[in-house]
């Protein structure tokens, strides 16, 4: 599931040209929904690195 979220966040940045703050908002929304299933996206290192990489791109 984390891989799908990671792919989606990269898609939002590369194909939809969303800002870093918008991507963070999407991640927060997904985290609130997936928390019901016991998945916490806030503790995933890969997603943190993706968010960091998105913020460094122009």
Q: What is the Cα gyration radius of the chain?
A: 11
| Contact in structure between 10 and 20 (CB atoms under 8 Å) | no
- DSSP letter (8 states) at residue 38: T
Q: How confident is the model at residue 28 (pLDDT cuts 50, 70, 90)?
A: very high
pTM exceeding 0.85: no
Q: What is the pLDDT of residue 47?
A: 87
Least Cα distance to 41 among 57, 17, 49 occurs for 49
Three-state DSSP class for 18? coil
Taking the chain, what is the end-to-end CA distance rounded to the nearest angstrom? 28
């Amino acid at each position: 599931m984390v891989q799908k979220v990671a792919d989606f966040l990269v898609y939002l940045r590369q194909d939809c040209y969303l800002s870093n703050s918008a991507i963070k908002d999407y991640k927060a929304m997904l985290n609130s929904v997936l928390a019901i299933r016991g998945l916490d996206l806030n503790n995933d290192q890969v997603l943190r690195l993706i968010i960091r990489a998105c913020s460094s791109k122009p």
